[in-house]
Structure 1
Amino acid sequence: MLLALPSLAVLSGSVLAAEDAPATLPDVTVKATRPEQSGPIALDAAAIVPRQAATSDTAQLLYGVPGLSLYGAGGVSSLPSIHGLADDRLRIKVDGMDLISACANHMNPPLSYIDPTAVDSIQVYTGVAPVSAGGDSLGGTVVANAAAPVFARAGEGLLLKGTTGAFYRSNGNGRGANVSMTAANERFSLSYSGSTAESDNYETAADFKTGTPTTRVKVPAAREVGASQYSAQNQSLGLAMRQENHLLELKLGLQNIPYQGFPNQRMDMTGNKSEQVNLRYKGQYEWGSLETRVYNEHTRHKMNFLDNKLSSATSLGMPMDTEGWNTGALVKADILLSPRDTVRAGVEYQRYRLDDWWDPITTTAGMMGPNKFWNINGGQRDRLEVFAEWEARWSPKWQSQLGLRSGTVTMDTGTVQGYNNAGGMMGYGDPTNPATVPGAFNASDRRRTDQNLDAAALVRYSPDDERSFSAGLARKTRSPNLYERYTWSTNNSMAMNMINWAGDANGYVGNLNLKSEVANTLSVTADWHDADRRNWAFQVTPYLTYVQDYIDAVSCAVVGKSCPTRTDGFVNLSFANQRARIYGVDISGHTQLVAGGAWGSFMAKGLLSYLRGKNTDTDDNLYNQMPLNAKLALEQRFGAWTNTAEIQLVADKKDVSQVRNEMQTGGYGLLNLRSSYEWKSARLDLGIDNVLNRAYAPPLGGAYVGQGGAVWGTPVPGPARSLYVGLSAKF
């Protein structure tokens, strides 16, 4: 969906809550009416809760959003992709915080910092996102929020409430539990939520090629997908205070992931600890609303080999450590100028610091010693942006929105060193010596400043209650991340393999000379529906994106670097600015088949997405582009039961990236069944994924390197049949 500008509404506040209602302030009478902000695709509890028992990966809650797919990763760390743009090319916010993956393999993406059971709502901009939704990105925006604070009603006294739940999944022996509690009166609210989830390696439906394991590797069975296990715990403590039309909220978050395997990465996560502090104020005034936010997030991340990758050749492991500090601030105002016009304006600041080092495994000179390897030393990425947006409702039929965002991104890093200063394949060379390290990283001027400009224009025409047509045009800009610019080692493939968030198991080295990417997007949506949007709807959204200075993978020689030649089927690459074109169409709809008969009501739903991405400089295909896919579902509601039968269809992936040696995947069809039963204070969820136990490889799953001695040629296999059950209760 491109945009959804709702009809005008009288301003009545939107940030404080009593009992089970969404957070709303007491009514405020104003003289103006307000056209609300362009609406994203909204996933509320009705869409989120049925998925919580089936997954511990919050990104999987986005399943079924038109134009959105997921890069494969660890069990709680999938990476969303919207219209062929993924990871750092999207703006992803968790409870208003712009989180950054502090890992050379992006094992801790933003959505991995909140458990699915803690998510109350998600908003997804899949087309042209307003500039107020965030900058420093090319594609859409995903905003995930925990539940708003709850307060007691007037005269009710102390409010005590909570929920608890547990789940089990047969494939991988997945299990977990969660709890949330609130104690509140009319002015203060104290809340806590906690969750734990873990799983063993999952199985696929057929034997698959697993490479040539070396000795001392814990070799998985022929149908067991190595390095797919995980364990994760999340906790959050919230304190909120309201006074008339004002809300002050403080949230403290704590995450601990003891381990998480990655079937498509050379390394596994052996620890991820994060502490978050998030302070927000929101208030309603006669002129509009004001929101301010300050947050700080500290991550301590560790990587090494779990059992399936630990061989005799790597018996001492390869410890890798990352520490990141992310501090941000936001001031944003919605100003009601007139019944027709609303202006939004704001300032955002983000200060990011990163250290990435690899401890030696020996005190004597050798392959991995005696020095500490500095991959990024004192990395800095500071972003300051200002934006303004004007939204107008010209008539009941016409609405428009126009916005600008200007930003400055400043980046720098300190000097680095290898495990040793020896030359040749077994050494890393002296980073100050151009003779041993091309480009002489330490002697280079490493400070970079990017001036970025975003603009978005959107218009909507609704001739009647059953039709609406919208169009948007945007320019969006993204600066490179620290790893794209500052990773430096090219002396052997082992070091280069550690720089990879694409899941293709290739090796990468950064490029100091990268420029910001600039995407120009045109998106159009035609929407037909019944007047209440309940009985039927049909949407078509074609889109076209042209990216200047697209950061794509290239041969090291293209950017003047000398990288080792490989014989294992994988390749060593760097990054360069090129040009890219992405186009496609999303088609979705639903229709009521039976409104309420002896067997209840029946609803049919459908979704089809087509996407094509090309590098127009090289005529190569862009990496990890989702092939033609469709979902068809029949939903029955019968009393307290909701039952769904769904077919997922995916075509062959033949258009692959040649420069990355990307693997093709075959087409497949999966049948999934889901059922739920709701009592007044409890809910039961049951389901079977991949009912027919089909063997398949997800097109965006990456290359399988889930055990020692892996070789090129095997995509990560998808899970076999899995039965899941979840039970939750309110108290």
Structure 2
Amino acid sequence: MKTYLFLSASLAGVMSLCGAAQAQSSASALQDVIVVTGSPRESMTVDATAPDFTPDAGPDAAGIVARLPGAALIDNGALSGQVQYRGLFGERLNIRVDGQSFASGGPNMMDPPLHYAPAPLVGVIVVDRGVSPVRNGPGLAGGVDAQFKRVGFTEGSDLKLGYDVTALARSVDESYAVGGVAGASNEALRFNILGSYEDGGDVEFPGGTIASSSHRRAVYGASAGAKFGDHEVGVDVRRQKTGPTGNPPFPMDIRFFETDFARATWNGALGGVKFESAFSIADVDHAMNNFDLRPAPPDPARFRETFAEARTLSGKVAIIVPATGGDLRLGVDIEDADKDVTITNPNNPNFFINSLADIEIQRKGVFAEWTGAAGWLNAELGVRADFHDASAGEATVGPALPMGPVNLADAFNAADREWDKTTVDGVIRLWSEEANGVSWRLTLAHKTRAPGYVERFSWLPTQASGGLADGNVYIGDLQLTNETAWIAEAGTDLRGDNFYLRPTVFYRRIDDYVQGVPFDATVDVIDTPQEMIAAMNGDSTPLRFANVDAELYGVDVDGGVALTDHLRLDGVVSYVRGKRRDIDDNLYRISPPHASLAATYERAKWSVSAETVLVADQNKVSVTNSEQATDGYALFNITGDIELATGVSLSAGVTNIFDKDYRHHLAGYNRVANSDVAIGERLPGNGRGAFVRVHLSR
């Protein structure tokens, strides 16, 4: 598999991936497009796209997105990484897989959306720069859509066979991956099967091995579509089985995720009015425990296995009509999620806690978005309203539980466990036509986010935190209100015959930001049932999710220059600052300033790239979250590729060439005993690793 970043603001229209396996995406000044597989030498020119050949990003697709300006990787495990974008991550980003939004299966987001996007199956990743348009749903920051490979429609009535397959091996975790699509199509019909399998061991670093960091994942499914007149329909189904996979920053590891996806689309035109529709379901079954991959607790009473379920039904219908020199999109969407979490001890059938019982979350949205131009100025103006409902069923506990959790469950059951609210978002995105190689961008937005079910309904003090992985015990708050962000960002895109440069400055003022705060005013004094239970779980100073005030601001830049016909430099610089506005503290888990610079020598059939990654110290850390500071570091990588024949390419490289021992600030803290990383120590980055991959397409 090849990984290329297409970052030029001039990129527009449709991108065709190699052979019959195609993925399409529109791009503009408001999007970044990452072409994950394919041969750009066949379909693009360097002048138009400024590709940046990148080293292997590991098994997690979030690592690919993290190379973009403003982005970073939240490393919660081999298959549990999250994208941070300009300081925000988790549910604050609008992340989709193949156009589908869905709820994570576990209370700690061990399966964030990109968990379901194995790199061998992904063709294109589209990233909304800055903020996501209202047509894509709510969310405080940019959006990400990882679109799968497909055998696309071809010309003529004869069926043509196509495939796109990748095989890869890595040394740092002794892993391998193989996957792709194969099928047939003509001008009216398309069909393909898809599948992938990945398996890897524990990760090596200069000081030894990170215990409980192995992974295993398998996906299989199919995609089909048909065109008739002005209409196109499509159906996609797939099943993913994630096997035993380590999560050192969490108190448990993945035992399994078994997830089914189905999505149907119908787009077309009737009487001059265009319409688009999509309906989908995602059904997740999940188990995690603290004894399979990591050393089991010495006391049988401390064994834990948690079972979780999540089902998401979603749908969207929109019409597009001409209006005042542009297009007006009017639409409705709905998302309905049911969740349930039960904690057990396999050694004691009387020990069980239905800690998040019968959670029901529903969102119904309406939106209007106009896109058009007035002379040199392009505009995308959108507004949406969302009607939120959330409720929790009655918590239950087994007879083996002491009175503390029983009393907390009774108090929760006696409380008002239903919540509803209406939110309104507005987005103005303006950009100029390119003139003499210069275009301008401006975004103003008002965005909202409803608190998640863990933040609202967690009555039992546990380390379920929605993926924060900071080692703290958390308690929810039924009185949480929505986050509200006021956003402004401005940038320019500069492009010449042999260079491109895209600086952006941004500011986000967020009222009612959901953040952990001390449970009560008497910190270190255990005088409540919640603190007593938290202390039994190893944390005498639990945190309570609460609404605070925050702000994030920064700058990111990417650019490149062609030094000769065959040699170019490409680089990215990202800086974000996250602070509390209500007290003197920093936001938790904010990426330190970082930069990368790659020198690429490219010929018609081969290329080689040498890259330097520079990361600064991060000492602006959250005292509230007991966050540890980290030192800066520099890494060096080298990658090369060669086209062996038409549709056959080979790439290989070495990452962290000098085997640097470093701590990635956005990694969590180790929770696994008998590892070469001490308990409570920041998890190290990967050691030196070689990789090789083969890509076949037709």
In the alignment, does 2:568 pair up with 1:590? no
Deviation at 1:720, TM superposition (A): 0.3
Distance (whole Å) between structure 2 residues aligned to residue 668 and residue 71 of structure 1: 17
1:3-42 correspondence runs (5 A): 20=20, 39-42=30-33
**Could you say if the C-alpha distance between residues 70 and 8 of structure 1 is closer, same or farther in structure 2, counting changes exceeding 3 Å?**
closer
TM-score (norm 1): 0.86
In the alignment, does 2:661 pair up with 1:695? yes
> What are the ranges of 5 or more consecutive residues in structure 2 without an aligned counterpart?
41-52, 523-527
**Could you say if the C-alpha distance between residues 461 and 53 of structure 1 is closer, same or farther in structure 2, counting changes exceeding 3 Å?**
closer
Deviation at 1:628, TM superposition (A): 1.1
Q: Residue 16 of structure 1 contacts residue 150 of structure 1 at CA under 8 Å; is this kept in 2?
A: no
In the alignment, does 2:619 pair up with 1:654? yes
**Could you say if the C-alpha distance between residues 577 and 283 of structure 1 is closer, same or farther in structure 2, counting changes exceeding 3 Å?**
same
Q: Residue 417 of structure 1 contacts residue 430 of structure 1 at CA under 8 Å; is this kept in 2?
A: no
Distance (whole Å) between structure 2 residues aligned to residue 185 and residue 430 of structure 1: 64
Deviation at 1:571, TM superposition (A): 4.5
Aligned to 2:314: 328
**Could you say if the C-alpha distance between residues 593 and 132 of structure 1 is closer, same or farther in structure 2, counting changes exceeding 3 Å?**
same
- Match 2:257 to one of 272, 285, 308: 272
Letter matched to residue 193 of structure 2: Y
Deviation at 1:430, TM superposition (A): 3.0
In the alignment, does 2:666 pair up with 1:705? no
- Match 1:725 to one of 660, 669, 692: 692
Q: Deviations over 1:166-214 (max 9, x none)?
A: 21111110112114211223322210110001111011113xxxxxxxx
Aligned to 2:233: 248
Distance (whole Å) between structure 2 residues aligned to residue 47 and residue 547 of structure 1: 40
Deviation at 1:706, TM superposition (A): 2.7
Deviates more, 1:191-200 or 1:304-313: 304-313
In the alignment, does 2:623 pair up with 1:644? no
Letter matched to residue 295 of structure 1: S
In the alignment, does 2:323 pair up with 1:337? yes
Aligned to 1:210: none
Q: Residue 54 of structure 1 contacts residue 724 of structure 1 at CA under 8 Å; is this kept in 2?
A: no
Letter matched to residue 383 of structure 2: L
- Match 2:543 to one of 565, 573, 594: 573
1:340-489 correspondence runs (5 A): 340-363=325-348, 370-395=350-375, 397-420=376-399, 423=402, 427-431=404-408, 433=410, 440-462=411-433, 464-489=435-460
Q: Residue 149 of structure 2 contacts residue 180 of structure 2 at CA under 8 Å; is this kept in 1?
A: no
**Could you say if the C-alpha distance between residues 558 and 543 of structure 1 is closer, same or farther in structure 2, counting changes exceeding 3 Å?**
farther
Aligned to 1:626: 591
TM-score (norm 2): 0.90
Aligned to 2:278: 293
Q: Residue 376 of structure 1 contacts residue 413 of structure 1 at CA under 8 Å; is this kept in 2?
A: yes
Q: Residue 53 of structure 1 contacts residue 685 of structure 1 at CA under 8 Å; is this kept in 2?
A: no
Distance (whole Å) between structure 2 residues aligned to residue 520 and residue 225 of structure 1: 41
Q: Residue 78 of structure 2 contacts residue 214 of structure 2 at CA under 8 Å; is this kept in 1?
A: yes
- Match 2:141 to one of 120, 132, 139: 139
Deviates more, 1:578-587 or 1:700-709: 700-709
Deviation at 1:83, TM superposition (A): 0.6
Deviation at 1:359, TM superposition (A): 2.8
**Could you say if the C-alpha distance between residues 420 and 583 of structure 1 is closer, same or farther in structure 2, counting changes exceeding 3 Å?**
farther
Deviates more, 1:499-508 or 1:280-289: 280-289
Letter matched to residue 654 of structure 1: N
Deviation at 1:385, TM superposition (A): 0.6
Aligned to 1:220: none
SS of equivalent to 1:143: strand
Aligned to 2:35: 44
Letter matched to residue 166 of structure 2: G
Letter matched to residue 378 of structure 2: Q
**Could you say if the C-alpha distance between residues 82 and 230 of structure 1 is closer, same or farther in structure 2, counting changes exceeding 3 Å?**
same
Distance (whole Å) between structure 1 residues aligned to residue 359 and residue 639 of structure 2: 46
Q: Deviations over 1:576-621 (max 9, x none)?
A: 00100110001221111001xxxxx011111111111111112210
Distance (whole Å) between structure 2 residues aligned to residue 621 and residue 5 of structure 1: 33
Deviation at 1:21, TM superposition (A): 8.3
Distance (whole Å) between structure 1 residues aligned to residue 170 and residue 500 of structure 2: 34
Letter matched to residue 78 of structure 1: G
Letter matched to residue 81 of structure 2: S
Q: Residue 512 of structure 2 contacts residue 549 of structure 2 at CA under 8 Å; is this kept in 1?
A: yes
Deviates more, 1:178-187 or 1:646-655: 178-187
Deviation at 1:418, TM superposition (A): 2.8
**Could you say if the C-alpha distance between residues 48 and 561 of structure 1 is closer, same or farther in structure 2, counting changes exceeding 3 Å?**
farther
Q: Residue 570 of structure 1 contacts residue 661 of structure 1 at CA under 8 Å; is this kept in 2?
A: no
Deviation at 1:421, TM superposition (A): 7.4
**Could you say if the C-alpha distance between residues 711 and 683 of structure 1 is closer, same or farther in structure 2, counting changes exceeding 3 Å?**
closer
Q: Residue 55 of structure 2 contacts residue 653 of structure 2 at CA under 8 Å; is this kept in 1?
A: no
Distance (whole Å) between structure 2 residues aligned to residue 236 and residue 77 of structure 1: 22
Q: Residue 149 of structure 1 contacts residue 240 of structure 1 at CA under 8 Å; is this kept in 2?
A: no
> What are the ranges of 5 or more consecutive residues in structure 1 without an aligned counterpart?
26-34, 207-222, 364-368, 434-439, 491-495, 596-600
Identical aligned pairs, as a percentage? Answer: 24
Aligned to 1:102: 105
Letter matched to residue 282 of structure 2: E
Deviation at 1:313, TM superposition (A): 2.8
Aligned to 1:56: 59
**Could you say if the C-alpha distance between residues 38 and 227 of structure 1 is closer, same or farther in structure 2, counting changes exceeding 3 Å?**
same
Distance (whole Å) between structure 2 residues aligned to residue 489 and residue 432 of structure 1: 8
**Could you say if the C-alpha distance between residues 582 and 309 of structure 1 is closer, same or farther in structure 2, counting changes exceeding 3 Å?**
farther
Aligned to 1:189: 190
Distance (whole Å) between structure 2 residues aligned to residue 315 and residue 52 of structure 1: 45
- Match 2:68 to one of 54, 65, 70: 65
Q: Deviations over 1:401-435 (max 9, x none)?
A: 221010011000100023447656xx5223464xx
**Could you say if the C-alpha distance between residues 16 and 684 of structure 1 is closer, same or farther in structure 2, counting changes exceeding 3 Å?**
closer
- Match 2:477 to one of 511, 534, 544: 511
Deviation at 1:456, TM superposition (A): 0.7
Deviation at 1:570, TM superposition (A): 8.2
Deviation at 1:390, TM superposition (A): 1.5
Q: Residue 485 of structure 1 contacts residue 511 of structure 1 at CA under 8 Å; is this kept in 2?
A: yes
SS of equivalent to 1:242: strand
Deviation at 1:685, TM superposition (A): 1.1
**Could you say if the C-alpha distance between residues 314 and 86 of structure 1 is closer, same or farther in structure 2, counting changes exceeding 3 Å?**
farther
Deviation at 1:38, TM superposition (A): 6.4
Letter matched to residue 437 of structure 2: E
SS of equivalent to 1:624: coil
Aligned to 1:216: none
**Could you say if the C-alpha distance between residues 158 and 168 of structure 1 is closer, same or farther in structure 2, counting changes exceeding 3 Å?**
same
Q: Residue 17 of structure 2 contacts residue 37 of structure 2 at CA under 8 Å; is this kept in 1?
A: no
SS of equivalent to 1:399: strand
In the alignment, does 2:317 pair up with 1:307? no
Deviation at 1:653, TM superposition (A): 1.0
Distance (whole Å) between structure 2 residues aligned to residue 688 and residue 718 of structure 1: 15
Q: Residue 488 of structure 1 contacts residue 509 of structure 1 at CA under 8 Å; is this kept in 2?
A: yes
Q: Deviations over 1:82-131 (max 9, x none)?
A: 11110100000111111211111100111111211111111112313321
Q: Deviations over 1:48-69 (max 9, x none)?
A: 9966965221111213210001
**Could you say if the C-alpha distance between residues 284 and 120 of structure 1 is closer, same or farther in structure 2, counting changes exceeding 3 Å?**
farther
Aligned to 2:166: 165
Q: Deviations over 1:445-472 (max 9, x none)?
A: 1000021110011222347231111111
Deviation at 1:708, TM superposition (A): 6.1
